[in-house]
Amino acid sequence: MRFQVPDVDLLVKRILNQQSHDLAKLSGEVLTSFANPLGDSPAAKDRTWAAQTEHVELTQGAYTAAAQSVATLLQSIEEYLQGILALLSSDQMLALPTMNCVRAIHDAALRVCSLVDPQISSQERLARSAADFLAGIQGGIPVLLTLKDALGDSTGDLQRVRTSREGAIALFRSIGLTVKVNDSTGQVQNVRCEDKISNVDLKTTDLSLKYTPDIDFSWKMNSGATHSCRWLSNGLDGPWPVLLTSMIFPLLDISDALTTNLLGYVGLPTGAIHKDTHMRRCFLMGRIGVSQPYSDHVEYLRRGARV
């Protein structure tokens, strides 16, 4: 019996839907495990270390705020995946917005990896958690300043955000963190816990090199799409199946990095999701005639994606 090979758009849709389903299931397990992590996991070690500090509830609260941030970022990833699926349902070949969605997913995944990295100490995670919390508060201040200049601050939003920022700074300083503030703008620059420092404004390019080094090219290419760079748009050429595959396959390496760090943080196994992800990678690459990038997912991760 002969089987019809699906066209590349249909194959990509199937792969993204399957990956989305698996990530949603694992994300639920991970977020549940944040509250009750396995005994020898980095998450459990964070809780143990927090329990030994002078300000147990506030320290644990910072970790909890980071978990909430992770949940928000995972939701963003899912929305952008759905955005790619919507673009693929169009009768047009929409390369630039597809690449923009991939970049947004990449960005969100890198931020998750930074927060849950199982290789860092509890002190460094606390600094990162605090910096992430402050970024969430003060990130909108420049926009509110622009609106104030144009429309005034009749609702008092700008002042409320500034007050919230000052309260967060005072709270983190009260538990022994060093918070560096720009004297001229009031914006927080970084947070220090003992000898570990975390910048509030992350350098995502550095995170890409750290967590997804073998597809860092994708970050740079997709940044060109986000900024409508002519060097990219003028150079996009070739068969649509090849172009689409080149845009989509980095998502599978991003998924490997995301699940390695997420599951590793709470002590859950990664083998099954990595195996399924690699199977989809082989199907996708094989569809355009590229030889399979190692038949075994363990070998692929070892020799390819250094996560």
Of the pLDDT bands very low, low, confident and very high (cuts 50, 70, 90), residue 2 is: very low
Tell me if 29 sits within 8 A of 262, measured CB to CB. no
Distance of CA 248 to the CA centre of its chain: 16
- Average pLDDT, integer, range 40-56: 95
Query: ∠19-22-23 over CA atoms, to 5°?
Result: 85
Q: 62 falls in which pLDDT band (50, 70, 90)?
A: very high
pLDDT value, residue 5: 46
Query: What is the pLDDT at residue 293?
Result: 57
Structure tokens given for 197: 């420092």
- When pLDDT is averaged across residues 225-246 and rounded to a whole number, the result is 90
154-186, pLDDT tens digit by residue?
A: 668 888 999 999 999 999 999 999 999 999 999
Cα–Cα–Cα angle for 129, 130, 136, rounded to 5 degrees: 90
Distance from C-alpha of 83 to C-alpha of 98, rounded to nearest angstrom = 8
Q: Which residues contact 164 (CB under 8 A, 6 or more apart)?
A: 137
Identify whether the C-beta of residue 208 lies closer than 8 Å to the C-beta of residue 219.
yes
Q: For the CA atoms of the chain, what is the radius of gyration? A: 21
Stated pTM of the model: 0.92
Give whole-number Cα distances, 199 to 43, 185, 262, 291, in Å. Answer: 22, 16, 21, 41
CB atoms within 10 A of CB 261: 23
pLDDT at 235: 84
Q: Residue 30 pLDDT more than 50?
A: yes
In the chain, domain spans: 8-303
Q: What pLDDT, on a 0 to 100 scale, did the predictor assign at position 38?
A: 86
Looking at residues 98-121, what average pLDDT do you find? Answer: 97
pLDDT, residue 294, reads 62
Q: Coil, strand or helix: which one is 113?
A: helix
pLDDT mean over 103-117: 97
The answer to whether 244 touches 236, Cβ cutoff 8 Å, is no
- pLDDT attached to residue 1: 34
Tell whether the model's pLDDT for residue 307 goes beyond 50.
no
Examine the pLDDT at 295 and tell me if it is beyond 80: no
Token pair of 56 as six digits: 């147990």
- Tokens 């538990």 locate to 175
To 10 degrees, the CA torsion angle through 17, 71, 109, 275?
-50
